[in-house]
Chains A and B, each alone.
Chain A
Amino acid sequence: MATLLALDHITKSYPMAGQEVPVLKGISFSVQEGEFVTIMGPSGSGKTTLMHILGCLDVPTQGEYHFRNMELAHLSEMQLTRVRREQIGFVFQNFNLLTTLNAVENVALPLIYQRISRQEQYRRAREALARVGLEHRLTYRPNQMSGGQQQRVAIARALVTRPPLILADEPTGNLDSQTGLEVLQLFKELSQEGHTIIMITHDHDVAKWGQRILEIKDGRIVADREVTA
C-alpha cells in the first residue's frame, strides 16, 4: 500500500491576547491508502485543529505535510482550494448542509465548483445519494430529514467527488446511538470499498470502528495502535 499522506513535526499556534498559544506541538504520522484511521482525544486536545490542517482548511505554523507527491504546508489559498476540491471530502459533526438546498443540490454542491455540466452534477449526486441509501429523499430539505439522514446526505456530499481522502469530524456526535451506529456501519462499508478515511472522535467506542487509533492529548500524539478485532 502506498502512503497517502504524511505529517512531519506539524505545529500550530494561535495568537490569543497577544500571545502565541500552541495547539499542536509536533505531530508526525502517516496514513496509507485505503486505511481507516481514527484520531481520538478529549476536547481541547487539538484534534479539530489537526483535522483543519489535514483538510487544507488551515495551514500549520511549522512542519511539513506531504499528500501523495505534494507538499501542502506552504501552499497559497488558491492551491489549497484546489486540493480541497479534488482530494478531500468532509463530514462534519453538525452536518453542515445548506438549509436552502435540497438533498441532491447539497450533494451536487462540490461539483458546481468543478465546473462540470448540471446534468452530470445531478447524475452523480443521485448516484452518491443512492450509495448512502437515500435515493427516495432526493428533493427533501435538511429540515425535513432526521439527523441520521442529514449525516448520510453529508457523507454522500463527501463521496460525490470520489476524493482520495474522507475526513470526518465527530460524525456521530450529534446523533443518537442507534443512528450513530448506522453511520459508523456506513463508514466501515466505505472503508471496505477502498476509501481512505480519517475520523476524529472523543469516544473510545466510536474510535474502535477504525483499523488504527491515534490518541492525541495536549497537542501531541500519545498512542498509535492497530485495532484488534
Chain B
Amino acid sequence: MIGQTLRISFRAIWAQKVRSILTMLGVIIGVAAVIALVSLGNGAQQSITSHIQSLGSNLIDVNVGYNPFAAGAAATTSSTPPTPPPPLTPSQVAQLGSTKGIVAAAPVMSGSATLAVGDNTLSSSLDGTSSAYASILQYHVAEGRFLSPLDVQAANPVIVLGSGDASSLFGAANPIGDIVTVNGIPLHVIGVLAAKPTSAGSNPNDFAVIPWTTYNQIFGDNGITTVDLSAAKSANVNNVVDRLEDKLLNWLGSSQDFTVTAQSQILSTLSAVDKVTTYLLGGVASISLIVGGIGIMNIMLVSVTERTREIGIRKAVGASTRDILLQFLVESLVLSGVGGLIGVAGGVAFSHVIGQALQSTAVVSVPMTIVAFAFALAVGLVFGLWPATRAALMRPAAALRVD
C-alpha cells in the first residue's frame, strides 16, 4: 500500500516537473545552505584550533606592560600615559619557570631583521630567546642543534633558522656551519628547525632564533618583557595562571602592569565563539528551509485545489479520508525528501568548492547533514499537513461537482 502510495506521489510530482522542481528549490537551497555554512564554520574552527595547537596548547604567555583592560583594574581618569613597569630580570624569569605546574620558561624578544647570505637578503622575524624555547613552542630540530644554555650565557654569535628561512636563504643546500648576517652582524648557523604545518593566515616556519643575550647586543638591551612558559600536561591551566599572576602582582604591584594569557583559554574561547557562529549560520540557513516549506505548502494547496475532482473520484471508488491524507502527505514528503537529498549533494559539493576557493578546509559534519535532511523531511511533513487535511476532508459529492 505504501509502495503504491509512493508510486502515485512520484507520478503526480513527475506530471508537474517544472513546478515540482521550483518547489523543491526552496528546500534544496535551504539544506545546501545549512550544510555548506556549517561545514565552513567547522572548517574555520578546525583551522583556528590547529593553528593554536601548533603553537603548543600548554603555552602560557606573560607580558609585562601597561594593560588598561586588565580585570579588576581600577578605572583611571587620568589621560597621561602611566609610566611603564620595569622589565623582568633573568632571575625573575627563572622564578616564573619554577612555579608549580610550569615545566619550562623562556624569555622572548621579538623583532624583525634583515638576514643575508652573500647577496641573498631576506627580511624575516627574529626571536631572541633561550634554550627552552624549542620545547615550549614545540619545534623540533631537523639538522644541527638548538640554542644551548651556554650560547645564552656567553651571548654566542649563533643562529637557528626556521625551515622557511633556511630554504629562502640557502635553497636545498645544508646551511649548518655557514654564516648568516643579521643586520650586518655575522652569526653561525647551528641548526635548522623542522617544518610545522602551515595554517590559514600564518606561516610558523618563516623566522629565525638567536640567544636573547646576542639579540640584546645587536638591538640594544630593552629588558625582558615577554616570557613564554609551558604548563605541565597534567596541570590545571587556570590555577597555574593564578599562581603566575600572584607572583607578578607581588613584583609589579599593579594588575594593570602585566598580562598572562593561556593558549588553552584562548582556544576554548575561540572555539566557543566559533561554535556559536556556526550554529548561528546554520540557524539562519534553516530559516530558508522553513521558507522552502512554506513554498511546499503553497504548491500543495494549489495542487489540492486543482485535483479536487481526482480526490472526488478516488473517494467515490473507495479511498478513505486516511488514504487521501496519506497520499498528499507522502507527496509533500517526497517533494521535501528529494529536495533534501539534492540539497545534501549540493551542500557537500558547494562546501568543497568554497573551501578550496578560500583555501580553508570545509569539514562536512555527518550528524549535521543528517539533521538538515531530517529537518527538511519534518518541514515537508508539517507544511504538508494542512493541504493534506484539506484534501482528505473534502466531501466526495462536492468534490465531484467541481469542473
Could you tell me the distance in whole angstroms from the C-beta of A97 to the nearest C-beta in chain B?
8
Could you tell me the distance in whole angstroms from the C-beta of A154 to the nearest C-beta in chain B?
10
- Judge if B206 is at the interface, Cβ distance under 8 Å: no
A113, closest chain B residue (CB): B318
Instruction: Evaluate contact between A110 and B318: CB separation under 8 angstroms.
Output: yes
A51, closest chain B residue (CB): B397
Of the candidates A52, A58, A90, A100, the one whose C-beta lies within 8 Å of that of B317 is A90
CB neighbours of B4 from chain A (8 A): 112, 118
Binding-face segment, A76-84, A131-139, A143-151, A193-201: A76-84
Could you tell me the distance in whole angstroms from the C-beta of B255 to the nearest C-beta in chain A?
77
CB neighbours of A58 from chain B (8 A): 395-397
- Judge if B400 is at the interface, Cβ distance under 8 Å: yes
CB neighbours of A112 from chain B (8 A): 1, 4
Per-residue CB contact flags for chain A residues 111-143 toward chain B (1 = under 8 Å, else 0) read 011110010000000000000000000000000
A85 to B309, CA, bound (A): 18
- Judge if A45 is at the interface, Cβ distance under 8 Å: no
- Judge if B188 is at the interface, Cβ distance under 8 Å: no
- In this complex, the member of A85, A112, A114 whose beta carbon has the largest number of chain B beta carbons within 10 angstroms is A112
Where chain B touches its partner, the secondary structure class is helix
Instruction: Evaluate contact between A57 and B318: CB separation under 8 angstroms.
Output: no
- Judge if B321 is at the interface, Cβ distance under 8 Å: yes
A11 to B315, CA, bound (A): 23
CB neighbours of A97 from chain B (8 A): 313
Given A57-B396, A98-B310, A113-B323, A85:B318 Cβ within 8 A: yes
Could you tell me the distance in whole angstroms from the C-beta of A155 to the nearest C-beta in chain B?
13
A100 to B310, CA, bound (A): 10
- A residues with a Cβ closer than 8 A to B are 52, 55, 57-58, 77-78, 81, 84-86, 90, 92, 96-98, 100, 109-110, 112-115, 118, 157, 161
Instruction: Evaluate contact between A57 and B316: CB separation under 8 angstroms.
Output: yes
A135 to B310, CA, bound (A): 25
Given A57-B316, A113-B318, A100:B11 Cβ within 8 A: yes
B 308-326 contacts with A by CB, 8 A: 309-310, 312-321, 323
Instruction: Evaluate contact between A96 and B313: CB separation under 8 angstroms.
Output: yes
B318, closest chain A residue (CB): A85
Per-residue CB contact flags for chain B residues 360-397 toward chain A (1 = under 8 Å, else 0) read 00000000000000000000000000000000000111
A169, closest chain B residue (CB): B400
A154 to B395, CA, bound (A): 21
CB neighbours of B321 from chain A (8 A): 77-78, 81
CB neighbours of B314 from chain A (8 A): 109, 113
- 21 A–B contact pairs at CB < 8 A? A57-B400, A58-B396, A58-B397, A77-B321, A78-B320, A81-B315, A81-B321, A84-B316, A96-B313, A96-B316, A98-B313, A100-B11, A100-B12, A109-B313, A110-B317, A112-B1, A113-B314, A113-B320, A114-B318, A115-B1, A157-B317
Per-residue CB contact flags for chain B residues 292-320 toward chain A (1 = under 8 Å, else 0) read 00000000000000000110111111111
A84 to B315, CA, bound (A): 8
